[in-house]
Homo-oligomer: A and B are copies of this chain.
Amino acid sequence: LDQISRNAAQARQMQLTKPQGALGDLERLAVRLAGMQGRACPGADRVSIAVFAADHGVAAEGVSAYPQAVTGQMIVNFSRGGAAISVAAKALDAHLRVYNLGTVTALEPLAGVEDQVIAPQTGNLAREAAMTQAQLVQAMNVGRLAVEQAQAREAVIDIFIGGEMGIGNTTPATALAAALMGLPVTDLVGPGTGIDGAGIARKVAVIERALALHKPQPVDPLEMLRCLGGFEIAALCGAYLQCAQQGVPVLVDGFICTVAALLGCRLQPQLGDWLLFSHCSAEPGYARLLDHLPSFPLLDLGMRLGEGSGAAVAIPLLRMACTLHAQMSTFEEAAVSGASL
């Protein structure tokens, strides 16, 4: 982080024609981004979005409302521009690239989709490790690659967004959240894309079985990720760590991305300095994550879609924060009197 730029931004905020602090979080956002980007007037125009998609062996346990075929179908939908993240990326003039880490239905080559298939799906975490060591490394490297590719395309990335798609993936994310925070599964589990009460009970039992089988240890977050994670969750974690290393600010999406970010922070605590959080997910486990995050989410709109969609929705707030910061007049420029009391 660049403390000189951060301090310059802070000093500028105090001179703009408004009561101090009156723009609330927008002021803090501009100041934080200044420190990350090393510019007294930061920006959020150049946004790069990578969506990581993969299938999950644990779907066999009946933990999702949707069939596994939807993962592949949604990759096609991303490519054709019909999914929420595709529409949002276009509206934001952001670059969107999809990474296919492996789906149960084979896919033809698709525009905007990069084939990085590791396996058709992960192992069923209720019965075995989700990934081998080699698969874990491979998945995390796809995340790193996505950031490298984004940086190769554009000289500067103002904000990186990671998204995810994978039928069943709130189950590994909830298992990881329980292991990372040491909380009971019942405190965290939720409906995901929309399972009913019986489905939720089944999901609790599946995650408890997985935790009893793998006995995840807080001191070894990578092993936790290998046993309980998913290809796209590992890729997100790898992407976030690469962003921190490269000095690229990250806007973290909802529940699954936030679990990947929290895991990344356990591996590399300085990652937290590079993370902004877009929104409170409606997935119940998110509320329990809040105490463990290095900063607070911007929005609370009851969103629970994934794909990076919540982060995309928050981008205009970052842009507005930067525009106000850069373009408002100072008290001196505008000849406005300061506070008298």
Contacts and interface: CB of A to CB of B under 8 A. Distances in A.
Contact of A341 (B19, B196, B329, B335): B196
Contact of A65 (B65, B320, B340): B340
Given A65-B340, A337-B66, A320 B77 contact: no
A196 B19 CA distance: 13
Interface residues of A, number: 66
Interface in A17-46: 17-26
Nearest to A303: B24
Contacts of A335: 73, 76
A188 B263 CA distance: 42
A337 B24 contact: no
A84 B304 contact: no
Contacts of A156: none
Given A80-B329, A194-B19, A316-B320, A73 B24 contact: no
A64 B328 CA distance: 22
A339 B194 contact: yes
A190 to B, nearest CB: 12
A339 B320 CA distance: 37
Interface stretch (A95-103, A269-277, A294-302): A294-302
B65 A24 contact: no
B194 A320 contact: no
Contacts of A213: none
Contact of A19 (B21, B65, B298, B329): B65
Contacts of A316: 316-317, 319-320
A54 interface: no
A22 B305 CA distance: 5
A304 B67 contact: no
A69 B339 CA distance: 11
Contacts of A317: 301, 313, 316
Given A21-B304, A299-B299, A313-B320, 18 more contacts: A17-B74, A17-B83, A18-B84, A19-B66, A20-B194, A21-B194, A21-B302, A24-B282, A24-B302, A25-B301, A25-B303, A65-B339, A66-B337, A66-B340, A73-B336, A76-B335, A87-B328, A316-B317
Closest 5 CB pairs of A and B: A82-B329, A24-B302, A316-B316, A22-B305, A25-B301
